[in-house]
Homo-oligomer: A and B are copies of this chain.
Amino acid sequence: MLPIRSAAILSALLLAPGTVPPGDGPIRGFSSATARTQREWETKFQAIPNPDSLREYMRVLSARPHHLGSPRDSANAVWLLERFRSWGLDARIETFHVLFPTPRERVVELLAPTRFTARLREPALKEDPASSQQAEQLPTYNAYSADGDVTAPLVFVNYGIPEDYDQLERLGVSVKGAIVIAKYGRSWRGIKPKLAAEHGAVGCLIYSDPGDDGYHAGDTYPAGPFRPRDGVQRGSVLDMPLFAGDPLTPGVGATRDAKRLDRSAAPTLPTIPVQPLSAADAQPLLAALGGRPAPPGWAGGLPITYHVGPGPARVHLKLRFDWRLVPAYDVVARIPGAERPDEWVVRGNHHDAWVNGAEDPVSGAIAVLEEARAYGALLKQGWRPRRTIVLALWDGEEPMLLGSTEWAETHANELSRKAVAYLNTDGNGRGRLGADGSPSLARLVSEVARDVTDPETKMSVWKRSHLGEVAAARTADRRREARERSDLLVEPMGSGSDYTVFYHHLGIPSLNLGFGGEDDGGIYHSIYDSFRWYTMFSDTAFVYGRALAQTVGLATMRLASADLLPYEFSRLSDRVDVNLKEVQDLLTAMRDSIAEQNRQVEESTFVAMNDPRRPLVPSVREPVPPFLSFAPLQNGATRLKSATSRFESAYTAAMKDGASALDTARVSRLNGLLLRAERALAPVDGLPRRPWYRQLIAAPGWYTGYTPKTMPGIREAIEAKRWSEAETEAAELGRALQEEAKLLDEASTILEQSTREGS
């Protein structure tokens, strides 16, 4: 079904010989002697992952709908457990009990000016057998929507993000007492009902506009990879930026006997009913809107004139759910560390899906399996990782990262003391390796990516991503920067996958990895995310599945067996500098922008620009933001910079000349210090109003969700014009950086001593 020419080129590439030659340079954290042994094991490891195995795992795991609480979900868990055990691994299922509502009743009706009843149903396609497993499919719904029965005028709010409400305010349109209809996209979907409710709306509809992931983006399923007009995106609408995990057990594991909040007191639950719609169901509702035409940029891909409302469209929204606790089955395998069993490398991907989930999550979960199979084979050949490896296939990620969060909250003390790193994946496709997470792991992943071959180009995965960064840079300065940086760009971490509890809550160095950039799609969280879809439109030959297993496997193996933990802190220091400049620039930009707005108010620019037939609410004078003191943060950043620089010299010298003096006691002290270093960035008080989020370097934005805010305490205080809070948070982060620097200085002292003694 691919165009003949592309398919021919693809086959040619897949058959083309050539891989990057096996690496032989130094490996971060290894002495030259241990690196040699490590490379031998890695060569053996890389040969094991196999596209046919990956395909077969996907076929089994995506064969039937397997959402949290479904029969197939537990069957898959048992099957996964058996796989781990069949490869000789010590595995078990850990069970939690989590709130997971499913629909009892769903009604969306247009009552005026015409009548229409939404179907709320994705049709089966004869081309795709998975789509016809309707008895097992979850209906289209937004998990954790409030129960409700409301009738109200409709208002179109574009993507329903803060700038859209700013625009509505300028138009003089209120959503108070209205049902809003928002496009999917540009935020975590839970932001949409949260903002709608904050603005007084009584209900929220979220639909997939064909301008985003439907026919305007490309051919639709089954002919192409994009969302058909009847396709619906399911998904959770909890307030993820407040805390992740079971809404009834914030901060503690949802064990059978856990103390639970009353549902009415659970703060992450939305307060209004929310329902997702297909484009086909949304069109009659949007077409029935009157009022002002939608502002520039708001119209999507439907063949109508988009209006804002309110009304005359009047909508009845009635939703009722079955609010049950269901079991979540985490499948967890352990390979005990031979020398440092109390240092853990945790690697995970979820196994639950909204429906069949071939892409999300199975395309990532199968890499975990293939890594596990390879480790099993290596163990039989005598491989013994120095540290403990924990392999996890989480349940209940889709509703709210439940399996990973409840497991990590249950084992929080142990993880805080022991976890060296958390490596996450969550689906995989074709293209370039992307990474987000801790800058201190940028060196590790870059070294690994130099040793893995990109299936399509036969250059190294590192080189392809590196050149991708060069190509994506918009300015000559950015291009120079990208070219000069030998480490891959590790992007700040938002939320939306299982790394959240590890990175944001516990401060464990984390990475989220995946290949992508070439596969289009609009089947996300629909019944069309199936084996047929994946094997027609994504990594059809499972060669990127192999590359993912090779990449994450190598990273795990290096973290597990390095003499010294392979963190590298210059990238962290660089990022602190960049983000510090950004928050300063943000304040300056706000000052300039408000001063300019005030000037325009004074000189009547607003009057000059206002069209009396489309009047906008006049701008008014606003207080210009004050200058703020970033001094404690600047001092922390400077201290960190010199500490990381000293550490880097000390580390390099010690690995070269001091190896002989790095005895077990020193290595233990060093690893202990390093393991604690990243924790310093996540002090126990956490962020204002959301203490569950402790990481001060990045957090999911309060009003973005998926998208991270760096230096969130400071940045969001500035955005919300809470000036004294911004200064407090700058001081807080300054203290954390001082603490981080102190730990690094202690480590440097030991390293320098070893070098002196060894050389």
Contact = CB atoms under 8 A, between A and B. Distances in A.
A292 to B, nearest CB: 8
Contacts of A216: 299, 305-306
A607 interface: yes
B457 A607 contact: yes
A64 interface: no
A612 interface: yes
Number of copies: 2
A592 B476 contact: yes
A575 B615 CA distance: 35
Contact of A468 (B13, B431, B596, B609): B609
Given A220-B305, A476-B592, A608-B457, A600 B471 contact: yes
Contacts of A10: 612-613
Interface string A611-623: 1111100000000
B467 A612 contact: no
B215 A479 contact: no
Contacts of A607: 457, 459, 467
Most buried by B among A431, A471, A608, A614: A608
Contacts of A470: 600, 603, 605
A95 B172 CA distance: 55
Given A596-B479, A613-B518, A215 B605 contact: no
Given A10-B612, A464-B608, A467-B603, A219 B459 contact: no
A471 B608 contact: yes
A81 B384 CA distance: 102
B604 A459 contact: yes
A735 interface: no
Most buried by B among A10, A226, A301, A615: A301
A302 interface: yes
Contacts of A468: 608-609
A101 interface: no
Given A6-B615, A219-B293, A614-B6, A608 B304 contact: no
Contacts of A592: 476
Interface in A191-220: 210, 215-220
Contacts of A3: 291-292, 613
A463 interface: yes
A9 interface: yes
A637 B605 CA distance: 35
Nearest to A218: B293
Given A215-B304, A301-B303, A9 B615 contact: yes
A431 to B, nearest CB: 7
Interface in A450-466: 456-457, 459, 463-464
Contacts of A341: none
Given A608-B432, A608-B464, A613 B2 contact: yes
Contacts of A709: none
Interface in A668-712: none
A93 B70 CA distance: 87
Nearest to A457: B607
Given A2-B613, A219-B293, A303 B305 contact: no
Interface in A309-358: none
Contact of A611 (B292, B430, B479): B430
A434 interface: no
A224 interface: yes
A470 B291 CA distance: 30
A425 B542 CA distance: 65
A299 B216 CA distance: 6
A523 to B, nearest CB: 15
Given A9-B615, A299-B216, A596-B479, A608 B459 contact: yes
A624 to B, nearest CB: 15
Contacts of A220: 305
Interface string A10-35: 10010000000000000000000000
Given A9-B615, A430-B611, 14 more contacts: A2-B613, A3-B291, A3-B292, A6-B613, A9-B613, A216-B299, A218-B293, A301-B303, A456-B611, A457-B607, A463-B608, A468-B608, A468-B609, A518-B613
5 contacts: A9-B613, A210-B303, A467-B604, A467-B608, A471-B608
6 shortest interchain CB distances as A-B pairs: A467-B608, A303-B303, A6-B613, A518-B611, A467-B605, A218-B293
